[in-house]
């Protein structure tokens, strides 16, 4: 990267003087550890004709984040010696349609990541805002990954419907937690565990907090996962749930790659201890290599006792790779909830990593 900073003009010193000054500077300079800072991100936009279960009309849109929520930011590390390193990340979601920051209006500017930490042979410790225990198990164990527009499992867990159906999603406290302490173990033969605790902070009081953990095992074609959360706080702005409840959420899942097809399956439950309402979700999926891309299919079914309703969502799509960083995708999704009108959505988009 070119240095664009302007410097003031200084006349050149005589050769002997320049040598003396250089030697003096080398003798006095501190020994800087190896460090790096990286600017990275992802831009994803799609043209869509969207109609979810319960919608009164179809919406034609140019949406952001059809397959992955668009984001950008800075991350880096410094070698501290002895295998230890300091790490940080400050990254923000963004909406390509109008250039707004955040996933939605009112989202915090750096709701994706805002942490500092230490890593090494002991594992990794992070302090700040980072992903919640539910996030990686959910996106790694369904064929549509972190698509908040077309993945049935992600939609059921994390995306509310503002159309009178009452659907709020089964994940109690967002896919990221603020003010948290998170520890991830070293890799033990493909198995890693993460323990997470979100502080209520003084302004909230009443001893409210979130805690949880997840396990991810990946070895060859096999992947297994599980997570558990006990939440009393909303996110990204931490506040107690309006009904004063403590909400639990867990899921187990797995995949196996047979080369000709990769199969996915998950099962989980969310529960509210005040209302005793439960939501149980099962999902199945498949990814089939086809040409320069993959044919994708996924189905999720959630039974919600609070609504006395069942939601079923099926998505079929194709993701075509143009390069290692750029792909095109096309998805068709059908969504329905008991007692409401069903909806079918279509999306065609492009995703680029930088």
SS (H, E, C) 265-325: EEEEEEEECCCCCEEEEEEEEEEEEECCEEEEEEEEEEEECCCCEEEEEEEEEEEEECCCC
- The position carrying tokens 């300091």 is 86
In a domain, 347, yes or no: yes
Domain of 70, in residue numbers: 41-353
In a domain, 287, yes or no: yes
Residue range 99-117: average pLDDT? 96
In a domain, 160, yes or no: yes
Instruction: Say how many C-beta atoms besides its own lie within 10 A of residue 319's C-beta.
Output: 23
In a domain, 60, yes or no: yes
In a domain, 29, yes or no: no
**pLDDT, tens digit (0-9, with 9 covering 90-100), for 130-183:** 999 999 999 999 999 999 999 999 999 999 999 999 999 999 899 999 999 999
What pTM does this model have?
A: 0.88
Instruction: List the CATH number of the domain containing 134.
Output: 2.40.160.10
In a domain, 184, yes or no: yes
Question: In 8-149, where does DSSP find H-type helix?
Answer: 15-28, 135-140
**pLDDT, tens digit (0-9, with 9 covering 90-100), for 185-201:** 999 999 999 999 999 87
In a domain, 9, yes or no: no
Which residues on neighbouring strands pair with residue 33, listed in sequence order? none
How are the residues of the chain apportioned to helix, strand and coil, as percentages rounded to the nearest 5? 10, 55, 40
Q: How far apart are CA 237 and CA 199, in angstroms?
A: 12
**pLDDT, tens digit (0-9, with 9 covering 90-100), for 212-253:** 999 999 999 999 999 999 999 999 988 999 999 999 999 999
User: 316-321: long-range contacts (C-beta < 8 A, 24 or more apart)?
Assistant: 317/144, 317/150, 318/290, 318/293, 318/294, 319/67, 319/293, 319/294, 320/291, 320/292, 320/293, 321/292, 321/293
Q: Which backbone phi and psi does 247 adopt, to 5 degrees?
A: -115, 135
Task: Give yes or no for residue 15 having a pLDDT over 90.
Answer: no
Q: Cα 107 to chain center, whole Å?
A: 14
Q: How far apart are CA 113 and CA 103, in angstroms?
A: 13
Domain count of the fold of the chain: 1
In a domain, 8, yes or no: no
């Amino acid at each position: 990267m070119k240095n664009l900073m302007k410097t003031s003009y200084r006349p050149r010193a005589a050769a002997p003087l320049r040598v003396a000054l250089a030697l003096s500077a080398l003798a006095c300079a501190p020994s800087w550890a190896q460090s790096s800072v990286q600017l990275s991100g992802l831009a994803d936009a799609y043209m869509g004709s969207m109609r979810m279960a319960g919608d009164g009309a179809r919406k034609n849109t140019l949406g952001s984040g059809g397959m992955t929520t668009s984001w950008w930011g800075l991350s880096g590390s410094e070698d501290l010696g002895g295998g230890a390193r300091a790490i940080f990340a400050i990254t923000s979601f963004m909406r390509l349609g109008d250039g707004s920051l955040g996933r939605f209006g009112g989202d915090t500017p750096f709701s994706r990541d805002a942490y500092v930490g230490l890593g090494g042979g002991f594992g990794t410790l992070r302090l700040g805002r980072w992903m919640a225990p539910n996030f990686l198990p959910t996106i790694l164990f369904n064929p549509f990954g972190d698509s908040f527009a077309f993945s049935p499992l992600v939609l059921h867990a994390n995306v509310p419907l503002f159309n009178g159906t009452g659907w709020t999603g089964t994940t109690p406290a967002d896919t990221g937690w603020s003010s948290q302490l998170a520890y991830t173990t070293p890799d033990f033969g493909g198995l890693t565990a993460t323990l997470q605790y979100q502080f209520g902070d003084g302004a909230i009081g009443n001893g409210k907090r979130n805690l949880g953990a997840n396990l991810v095992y990946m070895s060859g074609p096999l992947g297994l996962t599980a997570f558990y959360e006990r939440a009393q706080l909303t996110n990204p702005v931490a506040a107690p749930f309006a009904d004063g409840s403590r909400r639990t959420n867990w899921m187990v899942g797995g995949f196996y790659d047979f080369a000709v097809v990769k199969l996915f399956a998950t099962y989980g439950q969310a529960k509210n201890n005040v209302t005793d309402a439960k939501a149980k979700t099962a999902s199945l999926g498949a990814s089939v290599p086809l040409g320069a891309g993959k044919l994708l299919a996924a189905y999720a079914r959630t039974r919600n006792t609070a609504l006395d309703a069942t939601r079923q969502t099926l998505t079929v799509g194709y993701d075509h790779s143009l390069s290692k960083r750029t792909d095109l995708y096309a998805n068709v999704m059908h969504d329905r909830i008991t007692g409401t009108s069903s909806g079918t959505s279509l999306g065609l988009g492009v995703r680029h990593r930088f």
